[in-house]
Amino acid sequence: MSEHEPSLRLKQHFAQRVIHQARQVLEFWQRLQRGDWNPADLASLAEANLLLMRQAERFGQVEHVELARGIQHCVERAEANQGRLDSDLISDLDQLLQRLAYTGLRYGDDKQVFLPSLRKPIYLALLDQEWASRLVRQLEFFGMVAHSLTTPEHFHTALRERHPAAIVMDFDFAGPRQGLHLIQQLQQARSDKLPVLFFNPGETDAPTRLAAVRAGGVALLSGNLDASCLLEKIETLTHSAHQEPYRALVIDDSRAQATHTERILNSAGIITRALNEPIDALEVLAEFQPDLIILDLYMPDCTGPELARLIRQDERYVSVPIIYLSAESDLDKQLDAMNEGGDDFLTKPTQPHHLIATVRNRAQRARNLKAHMVRDSLTGLYNHTHILQLLEDAGVRARRDGRPLSFAMIDIDHFKQVNDQHGHPMGDRVIKSLSLFLKQRLRKTDLIGRYGGEEFAVILPDTTATAAAKVLDSIRQRFAELRHPAQPDDLSCTFSCGIAELSDQDTATLGQEADEALYQAKRGGRNQVRLFGPLLSAGFTITS
């Protein structure tokens, strides 16, 4: 045993205690997100955060100390404002909590102790223990924490210790159909239902599926249970666990009315910006990127319908909901306004809960619609067009803030052979596996797109090319270890990657440079990462 190992284990033990408290803070944050930001939940968040700060200071967790102090400062701002929240405060608090949520998924640094993921574990209660152990290892490749449970007692103990992200329960766990009965009893005794996926290796006829539904299952899996397919189901289940606050732009020439609306929405955790000059709307829209627009009907320099027509002429805002908020009670005039690009009409004075509910419902639908417009249907990643638009936006921010930006192109090696030898369904499975791998292994701030076919693109803000190469090479090595169930032998795949860093070139050129580095990785033998520029010309390559 190395002389440093006991010290390292002690640091990891302390880190685990801090991580546990960080989870408590995040759970209160999610409760705020689901509710109307009531003072009691805000106070609970503050109390949990204070304990986090004390533990982080005691155990020397510098990053957690910094984040906890930032959260405390936001809470103090809210208290000084008598509990009222403005858009800047909500935005600042959201950014801090998102950083806290991903402290366990940060890029590696040999000088730091790697903190475990904040994600909830997956519990596997399967008859085939060998296969369950294999699934645990495979899920770890995706950055997930999974535990194989062997007995009902083991299962109940795990539930008392930690609520899971999902449970995969064999129909016949601990006896014929006993898994089904075990879950049914648990669900009936709980107000918050457990996220359960039943597994039945045999035929899944209608009565079997009905039994799973009645027992409280959200899905029924059958046949071969592989990690990427399982993770895809779990991601669908947990997708809405945390979402960024909605963003609303209020346009009203009356400063008092705009401020009143802004305060109501801010109090519900909706980031809101008020604008009194309609002529500035397009500039503010580009910078603020709201989920929804609230528009006054009668304004002296530009009427609401005129502004709505102007906004709708820009393709970027065709799907952004516009709600008219006016004292106009004439139904025909309201309908005329709706015909000019509006989606809803609220009459002043409006009850706060009515306004909040309308904004939330419209914003949620708009986000769902936008997701279908800008995301690839197979992987859920950004599509080709949108990832290039995001790259352009990221380039503007990087230059403005003087921060590094890297762009990576990834291509699955010998993908045609996968389709030819195993069929297109297996090819789709490999593509989806890599997309899930990238989503699990990269930061929330990294933007991932399916560039086309078996090719992917990744935007890495605040990241140099060398740092990006280390991260993506680690992902490359772990992805190569993943096994896809196939006949006669399981299938494994690799990928090649090219990376370029933004300097004085435009983003179109940046994309070409990353593509050139990818081409060099392919020519160099595949299954490697290469950088564009002097490092590439000097033969700099990261390979296993």
- The pair of three-digit structure tokens given for residue 238, joined into one six-digit string: 């947990």
* Euclidean distance between CA atoms 476 and 289, whole angstroms: 34
Residue 379 has pLDDT above 80, yes or no: yes
**What are the pLDDT digits (tens) for 131-145?**
898 888 877 777 678
pLDDT at 118: 46
* Site of tokens 């390979």: 543
* Euclidean distance between CA atoms 477 and 542, whole angstroms: 11
* Euclidean distance between CA atoms 187 and 159, whole angstroms: 13
Least confident of 6-20, 144-158, 245-259, 502-516: 6-20
Helices 87-101 and 255-267 sit at what angle, rounded to 10 degrees? 30
List the beta bridge partners of residue 455.
411, 452
Confidence of residue 8 (pLDDT cuts 50, 70, 90): low
Q: What's the average model confidence in pLDDT over 433-437?
A: 88
- pTM for this structure? 0.59
Kindly provide the residue ranges of all beta strands, DSSP E only, lying in 389-438, ordered along the sequence.
405-412
**What is the C-alpha radius of gyration for the chain, rounded to an integer number of angstroms?**
26
User: What is the SS3 string spanning 143-159?
Assistant: CCCEEECCCHHHHHHHH
Instruction: Report which secondary-structure segment, H or E, holds 55.
Output: helix 39-58
3-state percent breakdown (helix, strand, coil) of the chain, nearest 5: 55, 15, 30
pLDDT at 1: 47
* Site of tokens 């990818």: 518
10 Å CB burial of residue 224 (0-12, 13-18, 19+) is exposed
Kindly provide the residue ranges of all beta strands, DSSP E only, lying in 276-386, ordered along the sequence.
292-295, 322-326, 344-347
Share of the chain above pLDDT 90, in %: 26
Least confident of 3-12, 161-170, 245-254, 324-333: 3-12
* Euclidean distance between CA atoms 544 and 539, whole angstroms: 15
- The pair of three-digit structure tokens given for residue 363, joined into one six-digit string: 């914003």
* Euclidean distance between CA atoms 526 and 503, whole angstroms: 27
Half-sphere exposure of 419 (CA within 13 A, CB side): 10
Omega cis (within 30) before 349:
yes
Confidence of residue 239 (pLDDT cuts 50, 70, 90): low
* Euclidean distance between CA atoms 397 and 462, whole angstroms: 10
pLDDT at 181: 92
